[in-house]
């Protein structure tokens, strides 16, 4: 009887452990999934836009260009100021500048229908918000290669007021691009594995250039 009792006790303990592990896995998945109405960056979050060091500046300098960019974050009003100079002379009409934020763990946007971009102030140039769902491969010399980015563009024709303008960016409106060119047969954006987000400005082959400035209040998820 003691042997059978020990066996049943062991079986029950193992069963409880299995259930506990399964519950922990489910809880972790639920934690990783962003609520469809959640704040990502800015005034509606505790961390705001994080720190300026969290935003990596990437410009056409990687191809020999001369465009510049910088990010200034205001802890007081939780805004991000993206500015610089878009140069088109060095590369014969081409040019771009961006600030990229890499998530520590992939962001799960499953169930999110759109991102709401709130603009505090801006000029008359066209900008883009990019989502990345896969890490770029590393070349033999150790440099990171380019990855497909899913881009949503918003320009001066976007409908908004002077301050705290809200731009509705549907997830279905993020279009795949690779090194500035649209990719026709790219897979759909994997919303369950967003590894990076970036703010970008590009010349569109000399259609816009010079100094630029964009001040964002927040980026929120909407169902």
Q: Are 15 and 76 in a shared domain?
A: no
What pLDDT does 155 receive?
A: 87
User: Across-strand partners of 115?
Assistant: 169, 221
Q: What share of the chain is helix, strand, coil (3-state, %, to 5)?
A: 20, 45, 40
What total of structural domains would you count in the chain? 2
pLDDT tops 80 at residue 177: yes
Q: Which pLDDT score is estimated for 147?
A: 87
Residue 222, strand partner residues? 114
- Tens digits of per-residue pLDDT, 195-218? 999 999 999 999 999 999 999 999
Q: Are residues 68 and 99 in the same domain?
A: yes
Specify whether 75 is located in the same domain as 163: yes
Indicate whether 26 and 98 sit together in one domain.
no
Token pair of 141 as six digits: 């010399």
What is the per-residue pLDDT across 12-64, written as a single tens digit (0 to 9) for each? 444 544 444 444 443 344 434 666 669 999 998 999 999 999 999 999 999 99
Residue that has been written with the tokens 């896995």 in this structure: 25
Residues 108 and 11 in one domain: no
User: pTM (2 decimals)?
Assistant: 0.81
Does 84 lie in the same domain as 12? Answer: no
Instruction: Identify the pLDDT of residue 28.
Output: 43
List, for residues 95-108, the tens digit of each pLDDT value: 999 999 999 999 99
User: Which CATH number goes with the domain that contains 155?
Assistant: 2.60.120.430
pLDDT tens, 133-157? 998 766 666 566 678 999 999 987 6
Is 112 found in the same domain as 27? Answer: no
Residues 93 and 1 in one domain: no
Q: How far apart are CA 202 and CA 209, in angstroms?
A: 8
Cβ atoms within 10 Å, residue 75:
9
Does residue 139 sit in the same domain as residue 204?
Answer: yes
Looking at the structure, tell me whether residues 21 and 113 fall in a common domain: no
Say if residue 80 is in the same domain as residue 116. Answer: yes
Residues 168 and 201 in one domain: yes
**Tens digits of residue pLDDT in 71-80:** 999 999 999 9
Give me the domain span that covers residue 2: 1-32
């Amino acid at each position: 009887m003691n042997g059978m009792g020990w066996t049943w006790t062991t079986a029950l303990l193992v069963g409880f452990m299995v259930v506990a592990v399964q519950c922990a896995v489910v809880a972790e998945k639920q934690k990783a999934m962003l609520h469809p109405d959640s704040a990502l960056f800015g005034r509606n979050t505790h961390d705001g836009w994080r720190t300026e060091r969290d935003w990596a500046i990437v410009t056409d300098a990687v191809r020999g260009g001369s465009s510049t960019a910088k990010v200034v974050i205001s802890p007081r009003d939780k805004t991000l100021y993206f500015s610089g100079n878009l140069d088109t002379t060095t590369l014969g009409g081409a040019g771009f500048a961006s600030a990229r934020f890499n998530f520590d763990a992939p962001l799960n946007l499953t169930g999110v229908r759109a991102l709401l971009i709130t603009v505090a102030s801006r000029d008359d140039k066209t900008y883009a918000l990019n989502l990345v769902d896969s890490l770029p491969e590393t070349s033999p010399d150790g440099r990171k290669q380019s990855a497909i980015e899913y881009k949503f563009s918003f320009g001066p024709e976007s409908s908004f007021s002077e301050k705290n303008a809200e731009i509705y960016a549907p997830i279905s409106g993020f279009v795949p691009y690779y090194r500035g060119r649209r990719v026709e047969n790219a897979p759909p954006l994997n919303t369950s594995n967003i590894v990076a987000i970036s703010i970008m400005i590009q010349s569109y082959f000399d259609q816009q250039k010079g100094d630029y400035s964009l001040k964002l209040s927040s980026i929120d998820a909407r169902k």
